């Protein structure tokens, strides 16, 4: 199943100047610039949303402002599958010897050829 990441960009409130365009055409060209720039980075446009944001107004009051956001999505790269854990019965004896690393040091018997004093 594919996994996705999302990017939300504030929709422009004012159009940038485009030579020879006025009004709605100028605003559409501004949106087109945003969509093309993010599309070049691999983002797919999904939708525009209007969401409320509560803001402080003065010292004690609050007002609600509505923000317009452009929602983009792109697929995350596929990761290598995580290997399934091996049941303890199937672990080889050599691997089981690693358990000594975590054993109580007093229980481990060392095989030194050094004479003891």
Asked, for residue 113, whether it belongs to a domain, the answer is: no
Asked, for residue 110, whether it belongs to a domain, the answer is: no
Asked, for residue 104, whether it belongs to a domain, the answer is: no
**Which parts of 1-117 fold into alpha helices (H)?**
23-40, 93-96
Asked, for residue 107, whether it belongs to a domain, the answer is: no
Number of domains, the chain: 1
Asked, for residue 43, whether it belongs to a domain, the answer is: yes
Q: Name the more confident of 105 and 41.
A: 41
**What pLDDT sits at residue 102?**
46
Tell whether pTM > 0.85: no
- In which region does residue 32 sit, left (phi positive, over 0), alpha (psi from -120 to 50) or beta (all else)? alpha
**What pLDDT sits at residue 78?**
83
| pLDDT tens string 58-102 | 888 999 999 999 999 999 888 756 566 666 665 555 454 444 444
- Give me the domain span that covers residue 43: 4-75
Asked, for residue 38, whether it belongs to a domain, the answer is: yes
């Amino acid at each position: 199943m594919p996994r996705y990441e999302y990017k939300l960009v504030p929709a422009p409130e004012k159009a940038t100047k485009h030579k020879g365009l006025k009004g709605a055409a100028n605003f559409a060209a501004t949106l087109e610039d945003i969509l093309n720039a993010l599309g070049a980075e691999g983002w797919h446009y999904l939708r525009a949303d209007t969401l409320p944001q509560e803001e402080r107004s003065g010292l004690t009051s609050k007002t609600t402002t509505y923000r317009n956001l452009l929602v983009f999505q792109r697929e995350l790269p596929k990761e290598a599958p995580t290997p399934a854990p091996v049941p303890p019965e199937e672990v080889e004896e050599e691997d089981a010897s690693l358990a000594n690393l975590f054993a109580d040091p007093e229980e481990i018997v060392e095989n030194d050829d050094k004479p003891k004093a």
